Amino acid sequence: MMMNKQSPIPSPTRGPARRFGLFNALCAALAALVLALPAASWAQDLASPCARVAGWTQGDARVLGSEFVAAGQFAPPQAGLGRLAKIPGLDPTGHARVELKRAFCRVTLQLVPDADSDIRAEVWLPVSGWNGKFMASGSFGWGGEMMYSGMMGPLQEGYATASSDTGHDASQPGQDGGRFLQGHPARLTDYAYRAFHETTVAAKALIRRFYGQAPTHAYWVGCSLGGLEGLIEAKRYPDDYDGIVVGAPPNPLAAFNAAQLWPYWLIAQDPRRLIPPEKFTMVHQAVMQACGSARERQDDVLDRPDQCRFMPAQLACRAGDAPDCLTAAQVDLLEKIYAGPANPRTGERIFPGPALGTERDFSAYASSKPFQNALDLFRYVVFENPDWQPDHFDWDKDMALAMRKASLLSVEPDLGAFFARGGKLIFYIGWNDYHNPAELIDYYQKLVKASGRPARDVARLFASPGMGHCFGGSGCDTFDKLGAISGWVEQGTAPERLIAARVDQQGKVVRTRALCAYPDVARPAGPGDSGDAANGVCQAP
């Protein structure tokens, strides 16, 4: 056996027996060490390309661990699926949820940009078939978990992907909801924007180290908080992403959360306003009967809820109370929910109320308990009091305070630097979201106007009839958002029409429809119904 002349084994003598005896003893010791380790782990560690990033550090980021995940071997924890764990076949990028048939390197990062920061992130790197691109998946609600559901589909397509926990672990005691902010003001900055920017910078550096080259394009896809995060990225860090998909952004978050507390506050002022959940179903059926076509009623979807002229007073009880009518106080509540909260001094609307057709979801907000996600913003950010209740909220002074204290979670309709470098933006929202698309349409129009460019050059907006908050509802909620934004960035053609599908509990497509870029709407191309994607064409309203 020949030995490496550059690394000879030391020997006190040069006799052959002495040299080989020492060599054999060393080999025996090494063999014993190898046998003491798990054989599969030893072989994998030697072969895994993850070794390229093991121990990597850069600035405030360091690799905590990297592991090779064989094709078909990743099983995401339920915590990492967010609300999507209950919705088969969907993820926030519009991909069907798939079994990962692509091997990848799973890298866990810790990022500490502030002494009080503790941000965790994951970056997934395909070990073969990388398409040269990078995509980050935004968060939901108060974050606190990796959005594995948003990473799986793109990874399967060859993207390097990343997600962040926004600076806290929601599975740990005292870290759920907004409670992680109590006594930790720096973590509001992490939650608002720093966690994902730091993740983005680190992910790009890891990609360069792993593949020997930077990604050719970078994309962001997120909804709800993830949508707002995307807007904040475009505003604060216009060079981070080439294309951003923004779903139902609660912007400004303080105003949106205030609107979610509005029904509770109304009931707290007059408990007679409380409407039983079954009555909201009755109201919804009345709305569909008043405004829906036969096909719309069958699908339980209003194509143009903004044109519906239903009035709650139409259901007013003639005497007393009954299951199929509303008392005067209940009519008043519904009218005020649809209108949304307004400043009592100026009359200025704080945030619009939900569109007609969304009544099945009202009981989550119009109850004897305030909506928890919204409550936490006011408790831990605005008033810094975990016992605060909104019963005596001042819609003038307190609202002004909220807008100041939560200003990090607000984006004005001006993304000039992002558009100047060629960045593209796609908005989407569901008409059955408690977040009225009319608000996002108004923001979109202001954004395009401020850009000084035609909409086809900077931003597109798609509103899906019947779709709930980011997904779900009775409408078509699955469409290829990542494909739409990447096609626009890389091929230069703004998307004018997307095909959306409704997927049943078995993952089967039961119907499709065309989604048209605002302001166009889907119309029948001939005999048939625009509810069928194959028959829908986009025309001016």
Query: In this structure, are 369 and 471 located in the same domain?
Result: no
Q: Is the pLDDT score of 132 beyond 80?
A: yes
- What DSSP assignment string belongs to 254-294? HHHHHHHHHHHHHHHH-GGG---HHHHHHHHHHHHHHH--H
- On average, the pLDDT of the chain sits at 87
Sheet containing strand 61-69, strands side by side:
57-58, 61-69, 104-111, 119-126, 160-164, 133-137, 217-223, 243-247, 424-430, 459-464
What is the distance between the alpha carbons of residues 213 and 206, in angstroms, rounded to a whole number? Answer: 10
pLDDT of residue 505: 77
Give, for 237, the enclosing helix (H) or strand (E): none
pLDDT of residue 470: 93
pLDDT of residue 506: 76
Query: In this structure, are 157 and 191 located in the same domain?
Result: yes
Query: In this structure, are 101 and 165 located in the same domain?
Result: yes
Number of domains, the chain: 2
Q: Is the pLDDT score of 26 beyond 90?
A: no
pLDDT of residue 528: 61
pLDDT of residue 534: 65
Comparing CA positions, the residue from 195, 217, 96 lying closest to residue 149 is 96
Q: Is the C-alpha dihedral spanning 382, 383, 384, 385 positive or negative?
A: negative
Token pair listed for 319: 């005497």
Higher pLDDT, 38 or 115: 115
Boundary (domain end) residue, out of 360, 387, 407: 407
Contact 81, 148 (CB under 8 A): yes
Query: In this structure, are 360 and 440 located in the same domain?
Result: no
Query: In this structure, are 375 and 504 located in the same domain?
Result: no
- What DSSP assignment string belongs to 126-188? ESS---SEEEEE---TT--S--HHHHHHHHHTT-EEEEE-TTS-TTSTT-STTGGGTT-THHH
Query: Which of 55-69, 255-269, 285-299, 494-508 is predicted least confidently?
Result: 494-508
Kindly report the backbone phi and psi dihedral angles of residue 470, in degrees, each rounded to the nearest multiple of 5, phi listed first: 75, -30
pLDDT of residue 418: 98
Boundary (domain end) residue, out of 374, 407, 440: 407
Q: Which CATH number do you get for residue 229?
A: 3.40.50.1820
pLDDT of residue 89: 41
Asked whether residue 29 is assigned to any structural domain, the reply reads no
Contact 475, 502 (CB under 8 A): yes
Q: Is the pLDDT score of 15 beyond 50?
A: no
For 42-95, write each residue's pLDDT tens digit.
Answer: 334 434 789 989 999 999 999 999 999 999 888 776 554 444 443 334 444 444
CA distances from 279 to 332, 358, 362, 366 (A): 14, 13, 10, 12
Asked whether residue 16 is assigned to any structural domain, the reply reads no
Query: In this structure, are 295 and 246 located in the same domain?
Result: no
Token pair listed for 404: 């100041």
Asked whether residue 417 is assigned to any structural domain, the reply reads yes
Angle at 438 between CA 495 and CA 487, to 5 degrees: 15
Asked whether residue 2 is assigned to any structural domain, the reply reads no
Asked whether residue 227 is assigned to any structural domain, the reply reads yes
pLDDT of residue 520: 93
CB-CB neighbours of 529 under 10 Å: 16
Q: Is the pLDDT score of 7 beyond 90?
A: no
Contact 502, 447 (CB under 8 A): no
pLDDT of residue 75: 78
Query: In this structure, are 284 and 207 located in the same domain?
Result: no
CA distances from 281 to 3, 64, 314, 490 (A): 81, 50, 15, 45
Query: In this structure, are 326 and 296 located in the same domain?
Result: yes
For 403-427, write each residue's pLDDT tens digit.
Answer: 999 999 999 999 999 999 999 999 9
Provide the β-strand partners of residue 326. Answer: 316
Boundary (domain end) residue, out of 407, 434, 451: 407
Query: In this structure, are 224 and 173 located in the same domain?
Result: yes
**What average pLDDT does this structure show over 269-278?**
97
Query: In this structure, are 299 and 314 located in the same domain?
Result: yes
Q: Is the C-alpha dihedral spanning 503, 508, 509, 510 positive or negative?
A: negative
Asked whether residue 46 is assigned to any structural domain, the reply reads no
Comparing CA positions, the residue from 202, 204, 227, 217 lying closest to residue 121 is 202
pLDDT of residue 35: 38
Cis bond upstream, residue 370 (ω within 30): no
Query: In this structure, are 272 and 342 located in the same domain?
Result: yes
Query: In this structure, are 61 and 182 located in the same domain?
Result: yes
Report the percent of the chain where pLDDT is more than 70.
Answer: 85
Asked whether residue 12 is assigned to any structural domain, the reply reads no
- What DSSP assignment string belongs to 52-100? GTTT-EETTEEEEEEEEE-TT-----GGGGGGGGGSTT--TTSPPP---
**What average pLDDT does this structure show over 85-109?**
64
Please report, in angstroms and rounded to a whole number, the separation of the first and last CA atoms in the chain: 83
Comparing CA positions, the residue from 163, 155, 161 lying closest to residue 111 is 163
Residues 6+ apart with CB under 8 A from 63: 53, 54, 55, 56, 57, 107, 108, 109, 206
DSSP 534: G
* Structural domain that includes position 316: 256-407
**What average pLDDT does this structure show over 154-164?**
97
For 211-261, write each residue's pLDDT tens digit.
Answer: 999 999 999 999 999 999 999 999 999 999 999 999 999 999 999 999 999
CA distances from 163 to 34, 334, 341 (A): 36, 39, 34
Asked whether residue 32 is assigned to any structural domain, the reply reads no
Angle at 435 between CA 485 and CA 338, to 5 degrees: 150
